[in-house]
A and B are shown apart, each in its own frame.
Chain A
Amino acid sequence: MSSTEQGTSSAAPAEPTTAPESAAAPEVPESFYYVHGKDKVVHKVSAGALQHSALIHGMISNLGYTEEQAKANPFPFENIDGDILQMVVDWCNQHKGKPTPPEDTNLPKQKEKLFDLVLAVNYLEIKELLTYCCKQVAMMVKGKSPEEIREIWMIPTDAEDEAAEKEAKKRAGKEAAGETAAAAGDAK
């Protein structure tokens, strides 16, 4: 993400929500950054917590922002729902500077959010949280029959897949025909 993109964020930084910090205060004053999701709610997160995200860590490592600059330029993640980003920020704060245990009890529990959470975590490149989330996804079908797996993971039947494919082809054909007609109209 470039600094221009940060500058174009239309959101006026709201009063940041400070996540609880679990680590003891370091000797060197810790730097903080600000992120927001689709809901524009800005979260203040320490650089230590953000280290979990390879994406954000890569972004901030060479910025050298002052506290004011960081506050004025929150990282916008418009593709991530606010509540999902909140979960991710909470997790990063809880695991700041700590090795992550094999079984993580701090993993967000809301199953209905799991799909979006996995996508967000994958996007933000938080490897350990991604492994935990994927484990939860995998556990959903443990010991289930193929029919149950089909329901849990919303797997279409072959017939449904074929119908969807036909429909997609039809739509693509129509769109292509529309574009050709438009191009012909332009030529006239």
Chain B
Amino acid sequence: MPIALLKFPTDLLREVFQLCNPFELYKLSICSKRTQRCVMLGGRKNWKIRSNAVSSEVVHVDGFPRNFDKNEVLLYVDNLIYVFEKAAKPEDFFITQHFVGDRNFFRPDGRNLFRPEYVSIQCPDVDVELFGSLLVTFGIPIVDRLRIDFGSFESFSNIADILIGRNIEIKEFCVGETETRKVIDAVNYMSLINQMNITQKFECEQKFLRRHNYQLNKYPDTIIIKWSFWFNIGQLLNNNCVRLELEKSMLRNEELDGFLKEWKKAGTFPNLRWLQIDSMKIDKNYRILEIVPPIRNSGKTYIKIEFGWNNHMGILGPVRITKEEGTVGWLKVELGRSPNLKFLV
């Protein structure tokens, strides 16, 4: 026997919506614009959301399979995980399933959640539009993690507008590599990223076109950039990260020397605990802190730092350097096929 739900007064609708799970609210919200507005009346939900909006396909590069993350949106609600997955065929649309312990998840606090109970729903599309729609419909104030690619500026811009307009905190933001591995002119993307409220981690796997000097204006706790030629000495000197990792960097000995001299001054880079720079420009032709690279200690000293559960970085055989105020840092610079600098505080 049907009932005319939308004829209920708003407070009653709210009561009913509070008793619906996220899947039912999602399905209701796509019934019509009016139902979406109604679901929004239910108020802000302090649910944690994570999204992987990159391809789920396995792409072969140089004969090796590159396993992309699964394309899905996860909602963490009252100790239960709701997974929005892309349906393989139309017959599966909106089918929900309940699972116990057949996969692991990351908890919102970054730790691994071993084989928990979760429910899934098969959606027609799992993309940034779905992610944005869930953010708006449920009024979610914090994004736990968003992994996205630069495949379509329009899609990116749409989701960025929501994130910026609502000043949503994004704890971890990861730019995945596009499926085609194409090089992207990221100047417009970077301007949007600089307006987002990314607080804990910025990770970029995408290769940018070498036409512009891309500028990152805000520095979350952790920055990991895979193709970091654009991250110049100015940005390195301005950063206030805890952990900074730059792969395929273009930074030279002179610049690294300048940075380390700056670090030695009292009060500079108070947050920095780990710096790793892989750069083909590091060589033995210029001294870093008056030492000709490679810089290492022949002893077996191993210094490491923990970044949360099961996540640590370390250096074997570093050289001790001391800040003016007495803080100790550990430095190692290696040459060879992949020259790199590692610095731990």
Contacts and interface: CB of A to CB of B under 8 A. Distances in A.
Given A137-B16, A145-B93, A161 B24 contact: no
A149 B94 CA distance: 12
A119 B15 CA distance: 12
B61 interface: no
Contact of B33 (A118, A137, A140, A158): A158
Contact of B11 (A122, A135, A141, A143): A122
Interface string A133-147: 011011011111110
- Size category of the binding interface on chain A: 20 to 34
Given A122-B12, A130-B15, A146-B30, A138 B24 contact: yes
A4 interface: no
Contact of A138 (B4, B20, B30, B35): B20
Interface string A141-175: 11111100111111111100100000000000000
B3 A140 contact: yes
A149 B33 contact: no
A153 B96 contact: no
Interface in B29-61: 30-35
Interface stretch (A40-48, A60-68, A73-81, A109-117): A109-117
Name the prevailing secondary structure of the A interface residues. helix
Given A122-B9, A156-B34, A141 B24 contact: yes
A131 interface: yes
A151 B19 contact: no
A161 B2 contact: no
B138 to A, nearest CB: 16
Given A145-B93, A146-B94, A155-B6, A114 B31 contact: no
B27 interface: yes
B298 to A, nearest CB: 66
A1 B16 CA distance: 28
Contacts of B7: 115
Contacts of B18: 134
B3 A154 contact: yes
A138 B32 contact: no
A153 B4 contact: yes
Contact of A115 (B4, B20, B35, B94): B4
Interface of B: 1-9, 11-12, 15-20, 24, 27-28, 30-35, 93-94, 96
22 contacts: A111-B3, A118-B8, A119-B12, A122-B11, A130-B15, A137-B3, A137-B5, A137-B16, A138-B17, A138-B19, A138-B20, A145-B94, A150-B31, A152-B2, A152-B3, A154-B5, A155-B5, A155-B31, A155-B34, A156-B6, A156-B34, A158-B33
Instruction: Give the 10 A-B CB pairs with smallest separation, nearest first.
Output: A153-B5, A138-B19, A111-B1, A115-B3, A134-B15, A154-B4, A112-B1, A146-B27, A145-B94, A134-B16
Given A138-B17, A161-B34, 12 more contacts: A131-B19, A134-B18, A135-B19, A138-B24, A146-B28, A149-B24, A152-B2, A152-B3, A153-B5, A154-B4, A155-B34, A158-B34
